[in-house]
C-alpha cells in the first residue's frame, strides 16, 4: 500500500517538472523581450530590468535559466507581479481558498445529486424513469456552465432577487457570526448551483452506466439468491461497487476545478484563481500566469494522487496487486 | 423418502425475446426432484441447462427479455406466481440455493467473504453468534482456519477456496435443494474432485436434495441417483443413473456415454 502511494508520488514529479519547464519556456516563446513579457504593458525601469535579468539569469544559457527557475520555485518563489505589485505566491494564496471553497461546496452538491440520479436511473425497472433522467442529465449537461450561470442570475438574482448577482460578499460587511455565514452562503449559492448542477449531471451519467454494469455482475445474482431485498442489494452491493469509476472521474474533475473555474468565476466575478488567470492574461502579467498554471497543475497532480489512494481504499484488489 | 416431490416442474418454457426473434431456450421441460435426492443434468453446450436451473430458481440474469411459462412448484407452492416477498423468504430459509461455475465473478470483490456469507444467514441474530455460524459454515465446507478465511477478500483466495465459499453462502440459508451449475468446471482436476466430494458429503449429511449440472458423465455416474439428458431446450431422456448407463434409450445419450467412459476419472471410483 505504501509502496503504491510512493510510486504514484514519484511518477508525479517528472510531470510537474515538465510543466514548470514548459511554463518557463513560455517566456522565451512570447515574441520580443522576455523582461517586457514579465512586466506586462508598462515601460520597464532600467533598474528593474537589471534585477530581473540577474534574478532569472536571462543572459546565461537556457538550461542554467531553467535550473535557476526550478530552484526559485522549489523555495516557493513564483516571482513578482509587476501589475499587482505583489508576490505571485501571495496572490495565489489569497485567491486559492476562494476557488477551493467554490469547488468543494459545488462538488459536495454535485456528488450526492449525481449519484442519486444515476442510481435512480440505473436501477429503475420502469424504462420511462431511466429515459427521463438520462435525457434530463444529457440536456442539462450540454448547457455550458457560464450560460447556466447567466440563466440562474436572470431568474434567481435579477427577477426574484433572492441572491446577489456576483462577487463573494458586500464591499463592507457589518454582519457577524451566523448572519455572516448566511451572507457568505447567499453569495456562494448561484455559482455553486451552476457548477454543482453541471458536474452533478456528468456524475449522474457516469453513475448510471456504472450501476447498469454492476447490476449485470454475477455477485448481484448471488445477492438475489441470498434472498436480499432490492433496496439492500442496491445499498450493499451496487452503490460502493459502481462508485469506483466515479472516484476517478469526479476526482480528476475536482482537481482541475481547484485550478480555477475560469468561465464561472468570470461570470460571477468570483475572485478566485480562474479570474486571476483571466485578468493576468488580459493584462499580460505573465509572471502571474505562469504561477497560476503551475499551481493548477500542482492541484491536479495532488488530487490525482488522492484519487489513487481513495480508489485503493475502496477496491481491495488494488491494494494487494501493488 | 416421502412420495411427493420436493420440486415439480411441468412444461417449463423459457422464451427469450431478442428483437424480432424469439429464442426458445427452454421448450417444454418436465423435471422432478424428490427430497434428499441427487440428480444430474447433462447435455451439450447451449442445450439450456443453465437457463433451466436459473428459471427454476427464478434467478434469470436477463429478466426483462425472458418469458417464463409452465408450472413450477416447490413443496407444493407455485414459485412462478409467488410474490417477491415470499420468494425471498424461501431463499432465506429452507428453500433453494444455487452455486455457479465462476465463483470469482459471483462474489463481490469489494467485500470480505465472511460478510458475504453472514449476509446469507437464514435469520439475523446477534453479531457474535452470526460470526460463529459463519465460521461453522466455512469449517463445514472444508476450509481450514475459518477465522482467517472470513477476513479475506475473494481475490485473495484460490479457485477451490472461492467455490467452497460459494457453497458456504448457498448453505447459509439451510436449503432443501441446491442447484450446482458446473460447480467445478473452472477448477483444476484434483481440486475438482475435492470440491465434488465436499458437495456430496454435504448432500448426505444434510439430506439436502441436489441438482448438478455437468459435462462430466463420470461425475454423474458417481454421485447422482437420476439423470436428465438435455438437448436444444428439451429433456430428451431421464432415467435412473444405472439404467441410463446400461440401457440408454436415445442415440444422443449413448454417444454422450461413449465419449465420457473413455476418460472416466479413476479417482472418483474410490
Ligand atoms: N441473453 C441471451 N441471448 C441470446 N441467447 C441466449 C441468452 N441466454 C441464453 N441464450 C440461449 O439459450 C440457450 C441455452 O443456453 P444455456 O446457457 O442455458 O446453455 P447451457 O446448457 O447451460 O450451456 P453450457 O454448457 O455452455 O453452459 C442457448 O442456445 C443460448 O444461445
Ligand atoms: Mg451453462
pLDDT by residue (tens digit) across A73-116?
888 888 777 777 788 888 889 888 889 988 999 999 999 999 99
Q: Is the pLDDT of residue A2 over 80?
A: no
Q: How far is the CA of B76 from the centre of ligand 2 (A)?
A: 27
- Higher confidence at residue A158 or residue B22? B22
**SS3 of residue A81 by DSSP:** strand
Per-residue model confidence as pLDDT tens digits over A6-53: 777 788 888 888 888 888 887 777 777 777 777 777 787 888 788 878
End-to-end CA distance of chain A: 6
Across the range A222-231, mean pLDDT stands at: 93
Asked whether the beta carbons of A40 and A82 are under 8 A apart, the reply is yes
* pLDDT score, position B178: 96
Q: How far is residue B194's CA from residue A111's CA, in Å, rounded to a whole number?
A: 48
* pLDDT score, position B262: 62
Beta strand B177-181 pairing with B209-213 = parallel
* pLDDT score, position A148: 84
Question: Looking at the CA of B232, which ligand is closest?
Answer: 1
* pLDDT score, position B207: 94
| Residue found under cell 465460521 | B135
Q: How far is residue A264's CA from residue A192's CA, in Å, rounded to a whole number?
A: 9
For chain A, the farthest-separated pair of C-alpha atoms sits apart, in whole angstroms, at 82
The closest-lying atom of ligand 1 relative to the alpha carbon of residue B215 is 25
Q: Is the pLDDT of residue A156 over 90?
A: no
* pLDDT score, position B270: 44
Q: Is B100 on the interface with A (CB under 8 A)?
A: yes
Q: Which of residues 159-218 of A touch B (CB under 8 A)?
A: 216-218
Burial (CB count <10 Å: 0-12, 13-18, 19+), residue A300: buried
The CB of B198 under 6 Å from ligand 1? The reply is no
C-alpha dist (Å) from residue A310 to A111, A228, A304, A321, B191: 15, 28, 10, 15, 36
| Chain B residues near residue A229 by CB distance under 8 angstroms | 88
**Residue A28, domain member (yes or no):** no
The closest-lying atom of ligand 1 relative to the alpha carbon of residue B52 is 18
**Residue B48 CB partners (closer than 8 Å, separation 6+):** B14, B25, B26, B27, B29, B230, B232, B233, B234
Across the range A165-176, mean pLDDT stands at: 70
Query: What residue ranges do the domains of chain B occupy?
Result: 105-172
- Higher confidence at residue A178 or residue B194? B194
- Higher confidence at residue A264 or residue A108? A108
* pLDDT score, position A190: 84
H helical segments located in chain B: 49-56, 84-92, 113-118, 127-140, 146-150, 159-171, 189-206, 217-223, 241-246, 251-261
What percent of chain B is predicted at pLDDT more than 90? 64
Q: Is the pLDDT of residue A322 over 50?
A: no
Q: What is the mean pLDDT of chain B?
A: 89
C-alpha dist (Å) from residue B192 to B179, B219, B222: 17, 10, 14
Across the range A268-284, mean pLDDT stands at: 85
- Higher confidence at residue A20 or residue B165? B165
- Which candidate in A123, A216, A223, A226 is best for mutational testing of the B interface (most B CBs within 10 A)? A226
The CB of B25 under 6 Å from ligand 1? The reply is yes
Q: A211-215, A280-284, B57-61 — which is least confidently predicted?
A: A280-284
Q: Is B109 on the interface with A (CB under 8 A)?
A: yes
Q: How confident is the model at residue B36 (pLDDT cuts 50, 70, 90)?
A: very high
Q: Give the number of A-B residue pairs with CB atoms closer than 8 Å.
A: 74
Which has the closest alpha carbon to A250: A190, A293, A207?
A207
Chain B residue whose CA is closest to A125: B64
Q: What is the mean pLDDT of chain A?
A: 84
Across the range B162-182, mean pLDDT stands at: 94
**Residue A246 CB partners (closer than 8 Å, separation 6+):** A111, A114, A115, A203, A206, A207, A210
| Residue found under cell 420436493 | B6
Across the range A230-245, mean pLDDT stands at: 91
Asked whether the beta carbons of B29 and B35 are under 8 A apart, the reply is no
Q: A75-84, B103-112, B161-170, B222-231 — which is least confidently predicted?
A: A75-84
| Residue B45: how many other CB atoms lie within 10 Å | 7
- Higher confidence at residue B52 or residue A302? B52
Q: Is B60 on the interface with A (CB under 8 A)?
A: no
∠ Cα B112 B117 B122 (to 5°) = 150
CB contact under 8 A, B91 and A226: yes
* pLDDT score, position A45: 82
- Print burial letters for A198-228: b (CB count within 10 Å at least 16), e (below 16): bbbbbbbbbbbbbbbebbebbbbbbbbbbbb
Q: Is A235 on the interface with B (CB under 8 A)?
A: no
* pLDDT score, position B31: 94
CB contact under 8 A, B97 and A316: no
**Residue A182, domain member (yes or no):** yes
**Residue A76, domain member (yes or no):** no
Q: Is the pLDDT of residue B29 over 50?
A: yes
> pTM score, two decimals?
0.83
Q: How far is the CA of B127 from the centre of ligand 1 (A)?
A: 41
Across the range B93-112, mean pLDDT stands at: 92
- Which candidate in B97, B108, B124 is best for mutational testing of the A interface (most A CBs within 10 A)? B108
The ipTM of this complex is 0.89
**Residue A271, domain member (yes or no):** yes
Q: Is the pLDDT of residue B122 over 80?
A: no
Domain boundaries, position A297: 89-321
**SS3 of residue A86 by DSSP:** strand
DSSP per-residue letters across B178-245: EEEESTTTTS-HHHHHHHHHHHHHHHHHHT-EEEEE-S-HHHHHHH-SEEEEEETTEEEEEEEHHHHH
Q: How far is the CA of B228 from the centre of ligand 2 (A)?
A: 15
CATH number at residue A147: 1.10.3720.10
- Higher confidence at residue B72 or residue A44? B72
**Residue A45, domain member (yes or no):** no
Amino acid at each position: 500500500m505504501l509502496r503504491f502511494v510512493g510510486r504514484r508520488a514519484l511518477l508525479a514529479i517528472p510531470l510537474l517538472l515538465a510543466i514548470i519547464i514548459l511554463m518557463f519556456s513560455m517566456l522565451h516563446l512570447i515574441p520580443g523581450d522576455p523582461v517586457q513579457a514579465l512586466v506586462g504593458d508598462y515601460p520597464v525601469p532600467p533598474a528593474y530590468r537589471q534585477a530581473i535579468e540577474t534574478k532569472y539569469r536571462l543572459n546565461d544559457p537556457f538550461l542554467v535559466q531553467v535550473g535557476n527557475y526550478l530552484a526559485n520555485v522549489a523555495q516557493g518563489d513564483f516571482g513578482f507581479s509587476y501589475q499587482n505589485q505583489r508576490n505571485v505566491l501571495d496572490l495565489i494564496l489569497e485567491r486559492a481558498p476562494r476557488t477551493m471553497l467554490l469547488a468543494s461546496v459545488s462538488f459536495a452538491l454535485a456528488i450526492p445529486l449525481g449519484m442519486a440520479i444515476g442510481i435512480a436511473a440505473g436501477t429503475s425497472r420502469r424504462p420511462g424513469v431511466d429515459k427521463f433522467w438520462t435525457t434530463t442529465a444529457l440536456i442539462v449537461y450540454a448547457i455550458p456552465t457560464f450560460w447556466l450561470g447567466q440563466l440562474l442570475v436572470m431568474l434567481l438574482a435579477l427577477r426574484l432577487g433572492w441572491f446577489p448577482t456576483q462577487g463573494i460578499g458586500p464591499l463592507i460587511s457589518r454582519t457577524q457570526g451566523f448572519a455572516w455565514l448566511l451572507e457568505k452562503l447567499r453569495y456562494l449559492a448561484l455559482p455553486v448551483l451552476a457548477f454543482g448542477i453541471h458536474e452533478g449531471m456528468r456524475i449522474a451519467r457516469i453513475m448510471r452506466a456504472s450501476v447498469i454494469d454492476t447490476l449485470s455482475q454475477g455477485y448481484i445474482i448471488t445477492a438475489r439468491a441470498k434472498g436480499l431485498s432490492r433496496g439492500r442489494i442496491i445499498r450493499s452491493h451496487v452503490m460502493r461497487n459502481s462508485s469506483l469509476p466515479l472516484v476517478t472521474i469526479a476526482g480528476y474533475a475536482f482537481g482541475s476545478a481547484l485550478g480555477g473555474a475560469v468561465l464561472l468565476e468570470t461570470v460571477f466575478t468570483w475572485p478566485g484563481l480562474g479570474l486571476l488567470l483571466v485578468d493576468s492574461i488580459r493584462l499580460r502579467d505573465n509572471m502571474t500566469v505562469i504561477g497560476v498554471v503551475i499551481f493548477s497543475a500542482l492541484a491536479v497532480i495532488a488530487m490525482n494522487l488522492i484519487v489513487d489512494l481513495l480508489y485503493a481504499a475502496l477496491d481491495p484488489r488494488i491494494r494487494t496487486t501493488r | 423418502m416421502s412420495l411427493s416431490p420436493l420440486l415439480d416442474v411441468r412444461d417449463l418454457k423459457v422464451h427469450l425475446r431478442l428483437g424480432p426473434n424469439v429464442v426458445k431456450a427452454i421448450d417444454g421441460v418436465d423435471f422432478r426432484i424428490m427430497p434428499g435426492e441427487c440428480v444430474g443434468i447433462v447435455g451439450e453446450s447451449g442445450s439450456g441447462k443453465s437457463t433451466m436451473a436459473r428459471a427454476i430458481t427464478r434467478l434469470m440474469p436477463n429478466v426483462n427479455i425472458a418469458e417464463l411459462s409452465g408450472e413450477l412448484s416447490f413443496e407444493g407452492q407455485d414459485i412462478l406466481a409467488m410474490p417477491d416477498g415470499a420468494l425471498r423468504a424461501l431463499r432465506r430459509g429452507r428453500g433453494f440455493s444455487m452455486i455457479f461455475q465462476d465463483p470469482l465473478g459471483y462474489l463481490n470483490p469489494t467485500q470480505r467473504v465472511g460478510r458475504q456469507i453472514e449476509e446469507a444467514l437464514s435469520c439475523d441474530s446477534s453479531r457474535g453468534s452470526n460470526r460463529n455460524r459463519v465460521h461453522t459454515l466455512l469449517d463445514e465446507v472444508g476450509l481450514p482456519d475459518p477465522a482467517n478465511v472470513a477476513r479475506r477478500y475473494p481475490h485473495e483466495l484460490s479457485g477451490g477456496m472461492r467455490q467452497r465459499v460459494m457453497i458456504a453462502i448457498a448453505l447459509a440459508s439451510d436449503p432443501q435443494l441446491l442447484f450446482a451449475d458446473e460447480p467445478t468446471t473452472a477448477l483444476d482436476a484434483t481440486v475438482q474432485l475435492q470440491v465434488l466430494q465436499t458437495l456430496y458429503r454435504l448432500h448426505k449429511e444434510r439430506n439436502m436434495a441436489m441438482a448438478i449440472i455437468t459435462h462430466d458423465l463420470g461425475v454423474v455416474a458417481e454421485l447422482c441417483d437420476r439423470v436428465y439428458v438435455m438437448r436444444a431446450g428439451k429433456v430428451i431422456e431421464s432415467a435412473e443413473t444405472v439404467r441410463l448407463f446400461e440401457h440408454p434409450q436415445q442415440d444422443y445419450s449413448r454417444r454422450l456415454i461413449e465419449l465420457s467412459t473413455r476418460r472416466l476419472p479413476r479417482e472418483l471410483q474410490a
